[in-house]
Amino acid sequence: MPELPDVEVFKRYFDSTALHQKIAKVEVREERMIKNIPVDEFKTEIKGTEFVSTGRHGKHLFGYLSNGKIVIMHFGMTGELKYYTEPDEEPDHARVIYHFENGYHLAYDNMRMLGKVTLTDDLDAYIQEEELGPNADRLSFEEFRDLLSTKRGMIKSAFMDQSLMAGMGNIYSDEALYQAEIHPKRQVPDLSDQEIRILYDTMQDVIETAVEHQVTDFPDHFLINYRDEDAQCPNCGGQIRKIKVSSRSTYYCPECQS
């Protein structure tokens, strides 16, 4: 799941559960998840500190530690967080577990292990190295318009380009395009000013609505409920179609989107 709205929900979950508790131990079950730093160093740097706040940039979640370091988490396609106390509540694919002194645990769970966990003391440098564009949800219309003016190619590819703007993935790109009634393969330079405006508004609305709904139980008119070739468009009743756009599965309504 983890695109911008999902990670924002993780952030809020983190904020409401795992802050201000002394970390007794960090358990790394899967060393391949830890990138850019030796695992031993990762563990010793974090042990004895506590998370004081969190942040997010696109699909990256940050946990600020009391020693000034920052844990960076990326969730790939299957990552999530779980805070729990009883051992039998531990998720099936816990790769990194923060054990708190109060007996609670925070697990970074990630079945497919696409994604990563790392540590930095310079977040700006990290964001630069990763070539992340501005947060898709903290972008003015003018910035959005100016960014798109530099792009050629398909609009869905532009949405998914994390260096252009950070946070939109496959699902929510499809969603925004569906609600804007714009075909995912439309060439960016061919979009009218009005269409750019609509795309911006729908993108913001899709992100906001997804977060409000905790990324579950979306409104009926959301395409996300109909990602199936046998499904019918909730707007026009036509058949939802599946195509490939930049090698990613793309669902859309041929009647509504042009």
Partner DNA sequence: AGTACCACCTGACGGC
Partner DNA sequence: TGCCGTCAGGTGGTAC
Q: Which residues are part of the catalytic machinery?
A: 2-3, 59, 248
Cβ atoms of 109 and 91 within 8 Å: the answer is yes
Should residue 29 be labelled a site residue for DNA when binding is judged by CB under 7 A? no
- Minimum CB separation of residue 217 from DNA in Å reads 12
Identify the residue among 55, 153, 219, 238 touching DNA (CB under 7 A). 153
Q: Which amino acid is at 140?
A: S
Residue 116: helix, strand or coil by DSSP?
A: strand
Identify the residue among 32, 101, 212, 239 touching DNA (CB under 7 A). 32
Identify the residue among 43, 57, 59, 105 touching DNA (CB under 7 A). 59
Should residue 37 be labelled a site residue for DNA when binding is judged by CB under 7 A? no
Q: Residue 169 and residue 149: Cα distance in Å, rounded?
A: 20
Q: Would you give the DSSP letter of residue 238?
A: P
Burial track 104-124 (b if 16+ CB lie within 10 A, e otherwise)? ebbbbbbeeeebbbbbbeeee
Cβ atoms of 188 and 155 within 8 Å: the answer is yes
Q: Which is nearer to DNA, 20 or 221 (CB)?
A: 221
Q: Which is nearer to DNA, 134 or 169 (CB)?
A: 169
Cβ atoms of 89 and 82 within 8 Å: the answer is yes
CA angle 203, 207, 208 (to 5 degrees): 115
Residue labelled with tokens 């009926």: 220
Identify the residue among 12, 47, 93, 197 touching DNA (CB under 7 A). 93
Q: Which is nearer to DNA, 25 or 213 (CB)?
A: 213
Identify the residue among 99, 118, 246, 255 touching DNA (CB under 7 A). 246
Q: Which is nearer to DNA, 147 or 198 (CB)?
A: 147
Residue 1's Cβ-count burial label (10 Å; 0-12, 13-18, 19+) is middle
- Minimum CB separation of residue 93 from DNA in Å reads 6
Should residue 3 be labelled a site residue for DNA when binding is judged by CB under 7 A? yes
Cβ atoms of 106 and 16 within 8 Å: the answer is no
242 DSSP β-pair partners: 251
Which residue stretch of 13-21, 71-79, 134-142, 230-238 sits at the interface with DNA (rule: CB under 7 A)?
71-79
Identify the residue among 26, 65, 73, 171 touching DNA (CB under 7 A). 171
- Minimum CB separation of residue 203 from DNA in Å reads 14
Structure tokens that stand for 96 in this block: 């990194």
Question: Which chain residues interact with DNA by CB under 7 A?
Answer: 1-3, 6, 32, 58-59, 74, 76-77, 92-93, 111-114, 130, 151-154, 157, 160, 162, 169-171, 215, 224, 227, 242, 246-249
